[in-house]
Copies of this chain bind each other. A is one copy, B any other.
Amino acid sequence: MQRPTIKTIAQETGLSIATVSKALKHSPQVRPETRAIVIEAATRVGYELNMHGVQLRTGKTYQVAAIMTAPGPKQNEWEGVEYAQLLSGISWALEDSPYRVSLYAVRNFEESQAVIKQIVSLKKADGIIISGTRADDPRIRTMQAADFPFVTYGTSIHNAPHAYVDADNEQMIRVSMARLVERGHRRIALLNPLSDLSYGITRLEAYKHALEVAGLSFDPALVAHGRLTPAFGRENVLTMSELANAPTAYICANEASALGAFSGFHERGLVHGRDAVINATDDLNVSQYFAPPITTYYLPISEPSSLLGAYILRRMEGEPPEALQTLLMPDLIERCDDRLNPNR
Please list the residues of chain A having a beta carbon within 8 angstroms of any beta carbon in chain B. Answer: 3, 48, 52-53, 55-56, 59, 61, 63, 66, 68, 70, 73-74, 76-78, 81-85, 87-89, 91-92, 100-105, 122-123, 230-231, 233-234, 256, 259-260, 262-263, 265-266, 283-286, 288-293, 300-302, 305-306
Show 26 A/B contacts (Cβ-Cβ < 8 Å), sorted by A: A52-B59, A52-B61, A66-B103, A68-B91, A70-B88, A76-B283, A76-B300, A76-B302, A77-B284, A77-B285, A77-B286, A78-B286, A82-B84, A83-B87, A87-B103, A91-B103, A101-B103, A102-B103, A233-B289, A256-B286, A262-B291, A263-B289, A263-B290, A263-B291, A265-B291, A266-B292
Q: Are A87 and B89 in contact (CB under 8 A)?
A: no
Q: Are B68 and A301 in contact (CB under 8 A)?
A: no
Q: Are A70 and B85 in contact (CB under 8 A)?
A: yes
A306–B70 Cα distance when bound, in Å, is 14
Q: Which of B66, B87, B265 contacts A68 (CB 8 A)?
A: B87
A74–B63 Cα distance when bound, in Å, is 25
Q: Are A284 and B78 in contact (CB under 8 A)?
A: yes
Q: Are A105 and B91 in contact (CB under 8 A)?
A: yes
A77–B334 Cα distance when bound, in Å, is 18
Question: How many chain copies does the complex carry?
Answer: 2
A326–B21 Cα distance when bound, in Å, is 48
Contact A285-B100, Cβ < 8 Å, known A52-B56, A105-B88, A105-B92: no
Best-buried of A78, A104, A230, A262 by chain B (most CB within 10 Å): A78
Nearest chain B CB to A136 CB, angstrom units: 26
Grouping DSSP codes into helix (H, G, I), strand (E, B) and loop, the A interface class, with mixed when no group exceeds half, is mixed
Nearest chain B CB to A126 CB, angstrom units: 13
Q: Which residue of B lies closest to A286 (CB)?
A: B78
A218–B104 Cα distance when bound, in Å, is 47
A289–B256 Cα distance when bound, in Å, is 10
- Please indicate the chain B residues that have their CB under 8 angstroms from the CB of A290 in the complex: 259, 263
Best-buried of A66, A74, A102, A265 by chain B (most CB within 10 Å): A102
Q: Are B89 and A301 in contact (CB under 8 A)?
A: no
6 additional contacts (CB under 8 A) given A73-B305, A101-B102, A263-B293: A73-B92, A73-B302, A77-B285, A87-B105, A102-B103, A230-B286
A78–B300 Cα distance when bound, in Å, is 11
Q: Which residue of B lies closest to A93 (CB)?
A: B73
Q: Which residue of B lies closest to A95 (CB)?
A: B105
Best-buried of A59, A74, A84, A122 by chain B (most CB within 10 Å): A84
- Please indicate the chain B residues that have their CB under 8 angstroms from the CB of A256 in the complex: 286
Q: Which of B81, B85, B265 contacts A76 (CB 8 A)?
A: B85
Q: Are B105 and A103 in contact (CB under 8 A)?
A: no
Q: Are B56 and A284 in contact (CB under 8 A)?
A: no
A194–B100 Cα distance when bound, in Å, is 30
Nearest chain B CB to A36 CB, angstrom units: 24
- Please indicate the chain B residues that have their CB under 8 angstroms from the CB of A76 in the complex: 85, 283-285, 300-302
